[in-house]
Amino acid sequence: MTDTDRPAIVAFGPLYPYLDAELERRFTVHAVPADADLAALSPAIRAARALVSFGSVGAPAAIMDALPALEMIGLFSVGYDKVDIDHARAKGIRVTNTPDVLTDDVADLAVGLLYATVRNIAANDRLVRAGAWAQGRKPALSARVTGSRIGILGLGRIGRAIAWRLERQAGEILYHNRSEAADAPYRYVADAIDLARQSDALIVATSGGPEAARLVDAAMLDALGPQGVIVNISRGSVIDEDALVAALAARRIAGAGLDVFAHEPHVPPALLAMDQVVLQPHQGSATVHTRGAMADLVIANLDAAARFLRERDDVTGRVGTLGWCYGGGVALSYALGGEEHE
């Protein structure tokens, strides 16, 4: 197949080297920066029928409108809060994501952040490196994870994986969802603020999006209390970041373990100076294994879309297809019931 025969797709923003290579092997890839002048896109780019992007870039309405032939958005993430889903639905554009494959790694990091925060691991590491321990400074005693009550805000796939990892350590696991999960072996708390009030540690694992913006506010942080810690591996927008900084500064909560932030990659300067805060640069799915599996699922979603479009085009007589069937592929995973991470 010549380059002119390859179906055209758009890589919107930076992706991942392995995924880049796999896309280049199958398609004519047009790299479009996330901040590109969309009015200046070439006719070849505007003819692309698929777009691939990282979840933190997503697909706003403007890029959909700039690609009039667009029929599929393939997200390199589970989270789809940066995609204008309503606009995609109105234009008949299919949106796919990469659920399940990153669940374990995100859950592992959540548990790691919990221990690092409660046991002062990062702060003590800095103390040793600075030579303070050798000079006679004694680190403060920490709280403990074993026997504590751990609240999980959002018992989806990732929330359940976190709970499973902590079953033997926790004194009790509580959770809050929009509704009670009939098959969950943990205690359901109908009110989110009440969940925080009853928890020693609160792990935020809910999905993102406008409906979850600032779900964790000053009232919930106050309910968590001066001995409580919070861990967020969901989306930065789920926590009112100003309220969090204020609660930490005033010691109204004991600490925080954060993998996500409201305005990534920018972190509030006040957090950088706080020893009771453990910070990560959005690393939930950032393992070699998981990023490879996510890339494979993006390709499988493209292949599934290719089959669908080819079959439809054969029926309607439309000229041109997105691609060809490669391997087994999977059924399209519509981004309407996914979770919160990439």
Amino acid at 84: D
The sheet carrying 229-232 orders its strands as 187-188, 172-176, 149-153, 201-204, 229-232, 255-258, 277-279
Our answer to whether residue 129 is catalytic in this structure is no
Our answer to whether residue 264 is catalytic in this structure is yes
**Is omega for the bond preceding 265 within 30 degrees of 0, making it cis?**
yes
Our answer to whether residue 282 is catalytic in this structure is yes
Q: 72, 31, 93, 2: which is closest to 303 by C-alpha?
A: 72
- 294/147 Cα distance (integer angstroms): 35
Question: CB of 123 within 8 A of CB of 277?
Answer: no
**Marked catalytic residue, from 30, 282, 291, 341:** 282
**Marked catalytic residue, from 160, 235, 307, 341:** 235
Name the β-bridge partners of 50. 9, 72
- Within 10 angstroms of residue 91's Cβ, the number of other Cβ atoms is 15
Question: CB of 61 within 8 A of CB of 84?
Answer: yes
DSSP string, 215-260: -B-HHHHHHH-TT-EEEE-S-GGGB-HHHHHHHHHTTSS-EEEES-
- 278/268 Cα distance (integer angstroms): 13
- 244/221 Cα distance (integer angstroms): 7
**Marked catalytic residue, from 24, 264, 312, 318:** 264
Residues labelled catalytic: 235, 264, 282
